[in-house]
Amino acid sequence: MLEYIKQYKKELLENVLPFWMKHSKDNLYGGFFTSLSRDGSVYDTDKFMWLQGRQIWTLSAMYDKVSPNPEWLLMAKQGASFILKHGRDEQGNWYFAFNRQGQPLVQPYNIFSDCFAAMGLGALYRIEPQDEYAQVARDTFMNILKRRHNTKGIYNKSVAGTRDLKGFSLPMILSNLSLEIEHLLDKRVVDGLIDEVIYEVMEVFFQEDSGLIVEHVFMDGSFSDSFDGRLVNPGHILEAMWFMMDLAVRRKDADLLNRCVDIALRAADYGWDEKYGGLFYFMDIKNKPPQQLEWDQKLWWVHLEALVCMAKAWQLTGRPDCKDWFVKLHDYTFQRFSDPAYGEWFGYLNRQGEVLLPVKGGKWKGCFHVPRALYQIYTTLELAKRNPVTV
């Protein structure tokens, strides 16, 4: 266990964070570049709101939890200045994308822009308590709650009334976001939301017959036998389960914890590619052909979230099957995704586990999943080494 702790901490501090500190800052217009080649060179200057918020969160959280590095704080603050200046429309909704200068390119159709703006500003407020950070984070969060039943609003391209579905991603994110910014919220709001998201994740989207969680259900919670309704994302299940484990610890709820572990083990077993190793990106709960052509790719965040999940499950329960899964995932993941030559991690492998795209970031990958997971894993294993938690 000690060797894992050393490896993950070193990876965070010597391989991953230095890459983003060196290559991602836009010294001319502010904010962060995320479209970075393998060596860190910028191959596109467009900026994506949810990645801006995520990087603000990462730098702030690392300052708060790992080390008060003044360079991390300064970089987080300049990112916050960029999004506060350019990020929202007149209704307070956050745009999805900007050009380098900060002019909006894509309308605020994606509520995850709002989620990560709130998360980033909330984390920054912890270490730099400026009223604007708190107010905008709080206003954004309340706006998310207002929009959560119709997240895309006027930008929704679906025809209402034919097949109205709701997605798993938002309650999953809210289960984590509510804890990340609870220092800014009324306790009753947080407690009520936690009750709601636990029910949504563990009951509504969970399918009893398969033991898995689907990405979409009808608005009444029933199963939709369609491409969207049958869609399973093993990485989302595993990420959600460690969020739920954190809530179980908070509530001292052993039943919830054990159920989370059982679902996580089922998802890992279901999603594992027995032929080539690694976790599939998308699957169909009825084993029909997935709609997504990238279904068999192996993605960085899927494996990192699985590692966090199994580390927490191992630490909280001591179950040997959780330890076995952690070791299995570690052996696959570190060997293929980490890039000691240039820093950071590759994001996209083909099914065989070969690098598909050598880039380190883009529209979907930025400074978030890798550093968050590395931190979560080594601190969780430190807890396990010192004193396993019993819920």
Does residue 391 belong to any structural domain of this protein? Answer: no
Asked whether residue 391 carries a pLDDT value surpassing 70, the answer given is no
Asked whether residue 388 carries a pLDDT value surpassing 90, the answer given is no
Report helix, strand or coil for 166.
strand
The C-alpha angle 212, 306, 280, rounded to 5 degrees, equals: 65
CA 245, CA 251: separation in Å to the nearest integer?
10
User: pLDDT tens digit string along 170-194?
Assistant: 999 999 999 999 999 999 999 999 9
Asked whether residue 389 carries a pLDDT value surpassing 90, the answer given is no
Asked whether residue 387 carries a pLDDT value surpassing 80, the answer given is no
Does residue 313 belong to any structural domain of this protein? Answer: yes
Does residue 193 belong to any structural domain of this protein? Answer: yes
Beta bridge partners of 357: 348
Q: What is the mean pLDDT of the chain?
A: 96
Tokens of 250: 């908070």
Which domain does 325 fall in, by range? 2-386
User: pLDDT tens digit string along 271-307?
Assistant: 999 999 999 999 999 999 999 999 999 999 999 999 9
CATH at 33: 1.50.10.10
Asked whether residue 215 carries a pLDDT value surpassing 90, the answer given is yes
Number of independent structural domains in the chain: 1
CA 107, CA 88: separation in Å to the nearest integer?
10
Asked whether residue 390 carries a pLDDT value surpassing 80, the answer given is no
Averaged pLDDT for residues 87-98? 97
User: pLDDT tens digit string along 218-236?
Assistant: 999 999 999 999 999 999 9
N-to-C CA span, the chain: 22
User: pLDDT tens digit string along 17-44?
Assistant: 999 999 999 999 999 999 999 999 999 9
Question: Strands, E, within the chain: which ranges?
Answer: 35-36, 42-44, 47-48, 97-98, 104-106, 165-167, 206-207, 212-213, 216-218, 231-232, 283-284, 298-299, 348-349, 355-357
